[in-house]
Amino acid sequence: MRITLFFLLISGLLFAQTDKTSALSNDATMQESSRKSVLGFGYMGATTLSTVAPMSYTPYKGEARKLPDMRLSTTQGFLDGLLARHFDLLITDRYDKIILGPTTTIVTPLERVDIENPAPAYNATPMGREAFAKNVHTYLDSYFGKTISYLLAQTLDARYQALQGIEKTTFMATKAKEVGVPVEMLEQLMGAAYAFSLHADAPSATATITQVQHTDSKGNTYYAYVHSVNVAQSLSLIVSQFNATTGLFEIYTTIPISFSDGASHEQSVRDTSPQLFAQLYEAALAQSFKAAVLALQVRLKNDKNFAMHGTVTESTLFSLAISPGNQESIRTDQPFKVMRSINDEMHQIGWLKAITPGNTCLRAPAQERTTTTARMISGWVDQYDQVVEYGYSGVYSEIAYTKDPTIITNNWGGANGNYLTFKEVADLGYIGNSPSLSEIYSYGLASVGLIESINASARPVILGKNTQFQGILGANFALGMERRWYLLAGFGVAAGADIGMEAQLYDGGKTGETYTDDNGDTQDVYESLMVAYFYLRPHVSAFFSPDPYFTLYAQVAQAFDVSLASISYSKEYHPSLQGDEIGFGGMIQAMQFRVGVAWHTDFIGDMANSYRKSNGACAKYSR
């Protein structure tokens, strides 16, 4: 599937005369007037409406077996609806919108205007990425090369008329008029015009059916079939720039997004249902598409032409006030670079994070607008320094080394576990866009590794004569949350807790006993030990973040057994004989140490379902 989605992004802040530019930039209202206009096309094309998915079936207590491949299909109407639902994830309210369809609609902070200027339909045909880019350029050149000036004039007029008498100084057209910029100067805006084209390869999909056993309320056993579809989608955002000299569009950059992990949806039914796969495919496709678009949004903001800019308006020892935000509110925990002009060159001198987003809605009365409160994380800052938005998803991956000394009471001694830990971490303040969740992180982790031997010399005699048990393997899984506090120069501390389950496997070797098998041969008896428990593990940690993309940390934690530890001992006998298996409770004590590294990832994954848009603050102000 190749999905076509393209927008024309017109920057509105290019004035050639130095003195007039200075007059604009020195005005405190500059941050509110430097809005961009986005020309969006509501047409979606696809190379194919179907994809071939490998399929497998796993019977209850059986092994998976391959089934014939399944062709999964969707409809053009579904794809058009998918585009409409996710359109504003890229064209947010930080932009003035020019939406082309049967009629041309201009959406500004204060006005929605429909003009009689119908755009020709775009005829999407199957093609590769390069051919698609050329095709889009041909389409844009033939139509927009002639009408872009007209559209700009209409946008300018609509925005100017909407704001006249209400807040003239917050609109670029008013500023241009105040400093004497002629209307003809607007032609220079073409030098910063961008067309966005979204191209998607055919999604990678797999389908499975798993038979499971259930028991109803009457005790009757029955089987159900879990149908599951996984879809991974690769997208490329092709950014083209309008060349005012030639009047043609040229490729500015291409931003690829490719994920090996996809989105999954499943449903359990009493019987196999091939028709169900079509519904599950569309549900997984929608989730995968949204996650990919959010990742493109993050990478797009890494380009300074598309990042939000602002100014530090107030600086104290413990807090900052920053001014960025044009209709679209700044998100909680959004990181910003702090930039300063040194010897006529801009240099990054630190970074900060937003704590409490201000009200930047341009539809709000001036007295209700507020600046954003932020905290300095690293470096230094003064009033009038510039801030530039980081591309940020709020999601991190981590890898760590964990030392887990476990002491088993009931005279069992203890063993050191050496684990490799993998974590996925989410900044809840950013993803949920909630100041009350600022610097609160949730995570899931999995650890696996080797454990040392234990000496069980004082264990109950009934369990045999061996005292040395060789450690084989240990693993644990947990979910948790933590709160972070930044101190100085990127250093900080955190405290939190997780709840999880740990299991350890030990081999006791030969017991000295023997038995005779069915062939009359003498066999040795072996014994093994399994320790498993659920735990609550509070922790404290210290960390260092030189920027929002990278963190080093060290952590100490104490595990408390919240379930009666299951310590099971078994002797391995001939299958026809009964082996000894004894389970009993024991108290687990474990002081854990961990050092690790975390890095930012663009892919938001399953957290896409929890992602809240950042432009909801304007909802209470009617147009």
pLDDT at 411 (0 to 100): 54
Do 393 and 342 touch, CB atoms closer than 8 A?
Answer: no
pLDDT at 409 (0 to 100): 58
Instruction: Determine the Cα–Cα distance for residues 318 and 488; give it in Å rounded to an integer.
Output: 11
How much helix, strand and coil, in percent to the nearest 5, is found in the chain?
A: 20, 45, 30
Amino acid at 482: E
Q: Token digits for 556?
A: 């100490």
Q: Rounded to an integer, what is the distance from CA 579 to the centroid of its chain?
A: 50
pLDDT at 111 (0 to 100): 67
Instruction: Determine the Cα–Cα distance for residues 4 and 124; give it in Å rounded to an integer.
Output: 8
pLDDT at 15 (0 to 100): 29
Question: 231 φ, ψ to 5°?
Answer: -130, 125
Instruction: Determine the Cα–Cα distance for residues 118 and 548; give it in Å rounded to an integer.
Output: 45
Q: Token digits for 374?
A: 């932020």
Q: Please name every residue paired with 310 in a beta bridge, in sequence order, or none if there are none.
A: 387
Q: Return the residue matching tokens 């670079």.
A: 337
SS (H, E, C) 290-336: HHHHHHHHHHHHCCCCCCCEEEEEEECCCCEEECCCECECCCCCCEE
Q: 10-residue block means of pLDDT along the chain (623 residues)? A: 43 33 34 56 74 92 91 82 79 70 65 64 78 83 60 49 48 45 36 70 89 86 91 84 74 84 80 84 88 87 85 78 72 92 87 87 79 89 88 94 76 74 95 91 95 65 59 92 94 96 82 75 77 89 96 93 66 50 56 94 76 66 58
**Distance from first CA to last CA of the chain, Å, rounded?**
38
Instruction: Determine the Cα–Cα distance for residues 167 and 173; give it in Å rounded to an integer.
Output: 12
Do 412 and 582 touch, CB atoms closer than 8 A?
Answer: no
535 closest CA partner among 565, 560, 569, 509: 560
Pick the CATH number of 395-601 from 2.40.160.20, 2.60.120.260, 3.40.50.1370, 3.40.50.300: 2.40.160.20
pLDDT at 467 (0 to 100): 62
pLDDT at 184 (0 to 100): 34
Strands (DSSP E) along 487-565, which ranges? Answer: 491-516, 522-547, 550-561
Q: Please name every residue paired with 542 in a beta bridge, in sequence order, or none if there are none.
A: 493, 554
The domain locations on the chain are 6-17+36-48+71-260+277-303, 309-389, 395-601
Q: Token digits for 476?
A: 């644990």
- For 620, residues 6+ apart whose C-beta sits below 8 A from its C-beta are none
Instruction: Determine the Cα–Cα distance for residues 366 and 110; give it in Å rounded to an integer.
Output: 13
Instruction: Determine the Cα–Cα distance for residues 366 and 496; give it in Å rounded to an integer.
Output: 41
Interstrand relation of 221-232 and 112-115 (parallel, antiparallel or unpaired): unpaired
